[in-house]
Chain A
């Protein structure tokens, strides 16, 4: 008769535990990958940042009226919650600075970061980032109209945006960040 040594019984118990643990981990990884594919499916349009046109009042001659509205729509079609959803938007303006001999100057006039928390699986978040003169705009950096070179070509003012969207997935095991740099928002011709 085969007698199993006690040391082997202990080993088998630990081995089974490790097997279950590894299989669970692999299942989480696989489902996470599957969900990412589902969410990023080009035909499904699950992540729309921006969702439609960016509405902006960039009249720098009246700083108090400055406003930006960035609509977005995120649908979590995967099997896990999307957590730590963070969206940040920076806007910079390039202009000819008369104080510097009409040299092209770029300054950051808007910087807003927002954490939207969590989107449970199967649900969606349709919202917007709203920037106003008191929230987001850096009034100290906004160029004075008297310092702007109005003869600058091809544009007097050029507004560019940097958009960053990040979120965590699969019980925070995956984190992804998407950055769009120098997205043209508005150009003012002479």
Chain B
């Protein structure tokens, strides 16, 4: 696989991560910022909205740039292992940012005729914690990959750079 293939793969995955970690959350929170339910305005507080968007964008950018380096690196290389591990840790921080930015417990003010008459609070903390559990298992797997790439480096390199003539291996 050539450099062009790896770079293209990196760009494609970076684009996917930009869409999933930044664009979709941005439009979702912007959409729910001002809703109307049964004729009553349901409003997400501006400060909460800005804090959520800030943290989601920050970690989204870091994850997307890491995704480029991860997916443009050669398969089973130490570089790939390193960036995959960094990306995963950033993913965890990204998920965690939903908690500390207040996105796991979103509070909407119920506004009727410009007066707040109550609030709707949606708590998705348990869901986020479950995702964190999955990411933790994936971190273990990436750590395992990293060790595997180091321990079996010779075998990986031999396989990667083996010479073939007419589809047959030459040893």
- Which residues of A approach B to under 8 Å, CB–CB? 5, 7-8, 11, 14-15, 18, 21-22, 25, 29, 32, 40, 42, 163, 170, 172-183
Chain A residue numbers with a CB within 8 Å of B118 are 163, 178-181
Query: B2-10, B47-55, B62-70, B129-137: which lies at the A interface?
Result: B129-137
Is the CB–CB distance between A25 and B141 below 8 Å?
no
Is the CB–CB distance between A18 and B130 below 8 Å?
no
Is the CB–CB distance between B117 and A174 below 8 Å?
no
| In the complex, residue of chain A having the shortest beta-carbon distance to the beta carbon of B130 | A25
Contact A40 to B117, CB < 8 A, known contacts A18-B138, A170-B127, A176-B123: no
Is the CB–CB distance between A174 and B123 below 8 Å?
yes
By secondary structure, the B interface counts as mixed
**Which of B117, B127, B144 lies at the interface centre, i.e. has the most chain A CB atoms within 10 A of its CB?**
B127
Expressed in whole angstroms, the Cα–Cα distance for A21 and B39 within the complex equals 39
Chosen A-B contacts, 29 in total, with CB atoms closer than 8 Å, are A5-B152, A5-B155, A7-B148, A7-B152, A11-B141, A11-B145, A11-B148, A14-B137, A15-B141, A18-B138, A18-B141, A25-B130, A25-B131, A25-B134, A42-B36, A42-B37, A174-B123, A175-B122, A175-B123, A176-B121, A177-B119, A177-B120, A178-B110, A179-B119, A179-B121, A180-B117, A180-B118, A181-B118, A182-B117
Between A and B, how many residue pairs show CB distances below 8 Å?
72
Chain B residue numbers with a CB within 8 Å of A22 are 134
**Which of B37, B110, B124, B152 lies at the interface centre, i.e. has the most chain A CB atoms within 10 A of its CB?**
B124
Chain B residue numbers with a CB within 8 Å of A163 are 118
Distance of B102 from chain A, by nearest CB (Å): 15
Distance of B84 from chain A, by nearest CB (Å): 12
Chain A residue numbers with a CB within 8 Å of B39 are 42
User: Does B165 make an interface contact (CB < 8 A)?
Assistant: no
Chain A residue numbers with a CB within 8 Å of B137 are 14, 18, 21
Chain A residue numbers with a CB within 8 Å of B134 are 18, 21-22, 25
Distance of B128 from chain A, by nearest CB (Å): 9
Expressed in whole angstroms, the Cα–Cα distance for A177 and B108 within the complex equals 10
Is the CB–CB distance between B117 and A183 below 8 Å?
yes
Q: How large is the interface on B (under 10, 10 to 19, 20 to 34, 35 or more residues)?
A: 20 to 34
Is the CB–CB distance between B127 and A176 below 8 Å?
no
Expressed in whole angstroms, the Cα–Cα distance for A25 and B137 within the complex equals 14
Is the CB–CB distance between A176 and B122 below 8 Å?
yes
Chain B residue numbers with a CB within 8 Å of A182 are 117
Chain B residue numbers with a CB within 8 Å of A172 are 126
Distance of A92 from chain B, by nearest CB (Å): 15
| In the complex, residue of chain A having the shortest beta-carbon distance to the beta carbon of B145 | A11
Lowest 10 CB-CB distances: which A-B pairs, in order? A180-B118, A173-B127, A175-B123, A177-B121, A179-B118, A173-B126, A176-B122, A181-B118, A42-B38, A7-B148
| In the complex, residue of chain B having the shortest beta-carbon distance to the beta carbon of A32 | B127
Chain B residue numbers with a CB within 8 Å of A174 are 122-124, 126-127
Is the CB–CB distance between B120 and A178 below 8 Å?
yes
Chain B residue numbers with a CB within 8 Å of A40 are 37
Expressed in whole angstroms, the Cα–Cα distance for A125 and B19 within the complex equals 41
Expressed in whole angstroms, the Cα–Cα distance for A32 and B119 within the complex equals 21
Is the CB–CB distance between B37 and A11 below 8 Å?
no
Expressed in whole angstroms, the Cα–Cα distance for A40 and B141 within the complex equals 40
Q: Which residues B11-57 have CB closer than 8 A to chain A? A: 36-39
